[in-house]
Structure 1
Amino acid sequence: MAQDVSFNVHNNNGDPVRVDAWRFGDPDNGLKVHLQAGVHADEIAGMLVLHLLMQRLAGAESAGRLNGSVTVVPQANPLGIGQFRQGRILGRFHEATGQNFNRAFDQSAALGRCATNVQAWQRKLVELAAPADVMLDLHTDDEALPYLYLHRSFWPRGRALATAMKMDVAIIWDEGGEGSFEETVIAPWLRAGDTAGRMAATLELRGQGDVADHLAGQDAAGLYAWLCDQGVVDEKPVVDDWPVEAMEMGHMETILAPCPGVLVFERELGEWVEEGQRFARIVRRPGDPSSEVVLQAEQAGRMLTRHRDRLVPQGMVVAKFTGRRLSRHWTGGLLDPN
């Protein structure tokens, strides 16, 4: 029977809200795994994945096949879940303070006394995950191929995870500096030089609209197979071979909208685009053919992500591409600094 390890925080009105969390297995015997979804609140796909995975973990636990423990937080952010405006959830940022929900976890974890409800929530979430040997944070992009995001310390070991999850690309990073949840959890490991037998990664489960039983079932099966492969579940893993492209984060090309307007993609996700080839256009003033602005690839690569909305402001991320050389725009840090 899974142990309830939920905790309460306070929302913007000061009312208590609950972060549901369950622990399967014995944390004193074997690998300790922490799985969570929805840190940004509007990234829904992972919530359904963990909802389905929990049913499989419950079966494994009742059959005595768990070696170690798996803590699951299927909806990690009750503060963001309550931020609906005109029928749409405002997930990435805390409405009252403007803070990105997945930034400054390190600062919140170090505070003796939290000044905001976001800080209190962040600290409690870090405390729940801190004992883990393995942490997987489930996210989604706007529209995207499935991809993995992980520190260099965990590559190439992370290839097994990407293969189990049928992820097309693994983006390898070296430095962050913004205090994301993943950075904060692994910081003590890196300081101690103790990454053997450990793993942490952010899993981007396609796009925000990709919430469906067949996709969630595939992803839950992939996570379960990987847990079997890691020895957490005493079953033979069933993992098909899958080609995974390892990509240095500095080689990723992020294309921003040079102007506002109607965004029209001329290439699909996953398509290969040559350097200089057009992949989209922005119609600045509908009705005026001369107002169309063509967007071209900075270098040859695959379209990994693209903007979900088709009316864009200037400066918005339009698309991200894999690349074969260091991007001329690369300045270090996170893939998405904001």
Structure 2
Amino acid sequence: MSYQLYSHTLPSATPGTHRIIKAHHFGEAGAHPKIYFQAGLHADEWPGFLVLNTLIKKLIEADEKGLIKGEIIIVPVANPIGLGQNFHGYIPGRFAFSDGGGNFNRNWPQLGSKVENQIQGNISGDVEENIAIVRQAIKKELAQLPELTELQGLRKTLLALSMDADEVIDLHCSGEACMHAYVAQEFEEHFTPLLDLLEAEVALSELETGAHSFDETNVSVWRHLKTHYAHMMPWGCRSLTLELRGENDISHELAEKDASALMKYLILRDVVAGEKPKLKKQKVTFYPLDAMDLVKAPVAGIACFHKSLGEPVEAGEVIGEVIDLMADDVTQSAHPLIARANGVFFARFQRRLVVCGESIAKIAGREHLAFREIGHLFED
């Protein structure tokens, strides 16, 4: 049996306290293919917790039968710092309260240039050898990252567990949403089978968002090096952010369905032995991220949506309204929410009391939107 559970203690933020990250390891360390999963980097997004808990149980059974062929690492609770933000039962969990604050899934360390400096003169026509050289250089650079604070320790720990993986799958969710994913354009074909198994119909595709998110950071070194070494530098890692529907879409039934799909994907990628799953093929549609309309609240008030998630919409169509509770004339208090893209209404705020200017709904469109700026495609 190869299953191992490791605990990683983060630097203590205050006297008498400490937080830990637990990582579940399957297969021989250093074996490939290696796939890394994590959930809850945004600590207010919880469906992935139960999905990975269910997947771990399935992998323990597979391990007992000797079916693990590659390496799998699962971090089911990736952000104990954010989970500690408990205010009278409410856990915001998306933004750090220390270390300068900021979104937990933004501005991760970028190692591309440093790795490039290390490997100069060592790259050859042997692509497998090149991958090994780069992974060793990444390991050295990761060791140099600071870990004086909790947040630094968290980032260093998660990157050390994931950056030598062939695939990184980061589980998130939206307020209310259909199953969807954020995928780099280069990986659309590669991850189509995964999205097929998960029955996702929407995926947002981009070259680079500018957010330096966790999943982008895991491939950023390879993207950087490919601009210099082209075909001699293959993708040593592919990644995506998987959005498991909405915050309250949590049940044993959904977790079993999603974990079973992930298990089939591990079999498909020869990380676990078993009969290859049959794919439905091409159910998912990829929409450019710069064509995604972020519908904003025109006033503060109560949001009411007329369209259901998953429905098609057209530019100019009213998908809902916000009621201005402070309007002098209540008969004129409804302000329409107007789509600016032709596509699919796939996500919206769970909270119905909204602030003026907030992005409260998302529409996956097909044509570039002039107000969407490449390199700045996430607002938070």
TM-score by length of 1: 0.94
- Equivalent residue pairs, number: 338
| CA–CA separation in structure 2 for the residues paired with 1:40 and 1:184 | 16
Gap runs ≥5 in structure 1: none
Displacement of 1:56 in angstroms is 0.8
Which among 175, 184, 197 is matched to residue 142 of structure 1?
Answer: 175
Report the secondary structure of 2:159's partner residue: helix
Which sits farther off after the overlay, 48-57 or 283-292? Answer: 283-292
Q: CA RMSD in A?
A: 1.9
Which of 196, 202, 215 is matched with 2:241 structurally?
A: 202
Residue number in structure 2 paired with 1:255:
295
1:137-286 aligned within 5 A: 137-193=170-226, 194-196=233-235, 198-241=237-280, 243-285=283-325
Deviates more, 1:52-61 or 1:320-329: 320-329
Residue number in structure 1 paired with 2:122: none
- 2:44 match: 42
1:306-336 Cα shifts (integer Å, max 9, x gaps): 1111100012111110112111221123543
Q: What percentage of residue pairs aligned between the two structures are identical?
A: 32
1:116 matched to 2:149? The reply is yes
Secondary structure at 2:365 match in 1? coil
| Residue segments in structure 2 that go unaligned for 5+ positions in a row | 112-141, 227-232
Give the aligned partner of residue 106 of structure 1.
Answer: 109
| Cα drift, residue 115 of structure 1 | 4.9
Q: Report the Cα distance in structure 1 between the residues aligned to 2:162 and 2:53, rounded to whole angstroms.
A: 19
What aligned pairs does 1:48-87 form with structure 2 within 5 A after superposition? 48-87=50-89
Judge conservation of contact 1:92–1:101 (CA < 8 Å) in 2: yes
TM-score (norm: length of structure 2): 0.84
Letter in 1 for 2:85: Q
| Greater Cα shift, 242-251 or 101-110 | 101-110
How far apart in 1 are the matches of 2:360 and 2:320? 9
Deviation, 1:168, is: 1.1
> Could you tell me how far apart the structure 1 residues matched to 2:263 and 2:372 are?
36
2:347 maps to 1:320:
no
AA in 1 matched with 2:82? G
Superposed, 1:303-314 pairs within 5 Å as 303-314=345-356
Aligned residue type for 1:318: I
Q: Distance in 2 between matches of 1:74 and 1:195?
A: 29
Cα offsets for 1:64-85 (capped at 9, x unmatched): 1111110000001010111111
Query: Counterpart of 1:31?
Result: 33
- Residue by residue over 1:148-170, the C-alpha shift from the partner in whole angstroms, topping out at 9 and shown as x without a partner, is 11112212111111101111112
Q: Residues of 1 paired with 2:278 and 2:291: CA distance?
A: 29
Higher helix fraction: Structure 1 or Structure 2? 2
Task: Determine if contact 1:40/1:91 at 8 Å carries over to the other structure.
Answer: yes
- Structure showing greater radius of gyration is 2
Give the whole-Å Cα distance in 1 for the aligned partners of 2:157 and 2:59.
24
Is contact 1:37–1:138 with CA below 8 Å preserved after alignment?
Answer: yes
Cα 1:18/1:112, change in 2 over 3 Å: closer
